[in-house]
């Protein structure tokens, strides 16, 4: 490790880290926002569920590098546009989270739903104030997977040139220089652990009735 190199480049590395953070988090947030209504729809309708999950599985199959390259063709963006990465990762997150949300809603016991209805909850308030909060642990588990794998996939975008920590890997190979590569790997792992802990913390805050320590 050449620490003086790290020190000299720290400004650029911080920039790349922030890009990486944004590119990992933004798609998961958009994916979650879209997945909530779609997951609800999937949980209620078997036909929508099977067709959507089938289509999502198909999209999920396509390797990320291929998706980064093909999206400009669909969106009309330039190959370097970070939007391609955001859209590609949103697709992955959505494919994962719709299933998660619908599983989460499925996990709510029918007794609870009956009790809520008996207490006078109408359909929408019941969904928002009873079903969704109870589904939080399952949804959080899906979010953890989505956010952690995103951190790893984002670095692949370095091969098309989008700015994020992956550029340290390509730079390291070109220079035959280990320092940026190790720094990039460590920062990726750190970011993944950080985001994972954040999801856990938020989920914990949202479900105060859950036993501690999980």
Partner 1 sequence: MLAWFLDPTHWSGPDGVPVLLVQHLTYSILALLIASLIAMPIGLYVGHTRKGVVVIAGLANALRSLPSLGLIVLLVILFGPVFASDLAFIVPSLIVLVLLAVPPIMTGTYAGIAAVDPAAVDAARGMGHRPLGILFGVELPCALPLIFSGLRGATLQIVSTATIAAYVSLGGLGRLIIDGRAQNDYYQMAAGAVLVGLLALGVDLLIGIVSRLSVSPGLTRRIVRARS
User: Which residues of the shown chain bind partner 1 in the complex (CB under 8 A)?
Assistant: 58, 60-67, 69-70, 72-73, 79, 145, 148-149, 151-152, 155-156, 158-161, 165-166, 168-170, 172-173, 176-178, 181-182, 184-185, 188-189, 192-193, 196
Whether the CA torsion 6, 9, 14, 19 is positive or negative: it is negative
Start-to-end C-alpha separation, the chain: 37
Closest distance between partner 1 and the C-beta of residue 166, in Å? 6
Residue closer to partner 1, measured from CB, 30 or 65: 65
Q: What DSSP character marks residue 128?
A: I
Residue closer to partner 1, measured from CB, 86 or 156: 156
Residue closer to partner 1, measured from CB, 128 or 201: 201
Closest distance between partner 1 and the C-beta of residue 52, in Å? 17
Q: What DSSP character marks residue 164?
A: S
Whether the CA torsion 170, 171, 174, 180 is positive or negative: it is negative
Label each residue of 143-156 as H, E or C: HHHHHHHHHHHHHH
What the block records as the tokens of 112 is 């609870």
Residue closer to partner 1, measured from CB, 58 or 202: 58
């Amino acid at each position: 490790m050449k620490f003086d190199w790290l020190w000299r480049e720290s400004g650029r590395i911080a920039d790349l880290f922030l890009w990486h953070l944004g590119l990992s988090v933004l798609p998961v947030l958009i994916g979650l926002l879209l997945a909530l209504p779609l997951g609800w729809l999937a949980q209620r309708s078997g036909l929508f569920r099977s067709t959507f999950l089938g289509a999502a599985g198909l999209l999920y199959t396509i390797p990320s590098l291929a998706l980064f390259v093909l999206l400009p063709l669909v969106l009309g963006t330039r190959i370097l546009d970070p939007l391609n990465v955001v859209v590609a990762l949103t697709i992955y997150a959505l494919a994962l989270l719709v299933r998660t949300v619908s599983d989460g809603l499925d996990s709510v016991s029918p007794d609870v739903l009956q009790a809520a209805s008996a207490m006078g909850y109408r359909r929408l308030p019941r969904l928002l104030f009873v079903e969704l909060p109870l589904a939080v642990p399952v949804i959080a588990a899906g979010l953890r997977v989505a956010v952690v794998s995103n951190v790893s996939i984002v670095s692949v975008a370095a091969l098309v040139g989008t700015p994020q920590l992956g550029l340290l890997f390509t730079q390291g190979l070109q220079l035959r220089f280990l320092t940026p590569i190790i720094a990039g790997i460590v920062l990726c792992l750190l970011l993944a652990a950080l985001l994972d802990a954040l999801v856990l913390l938020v989920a914990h805050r949202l479900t105060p009735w859950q036993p501690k320590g999980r």
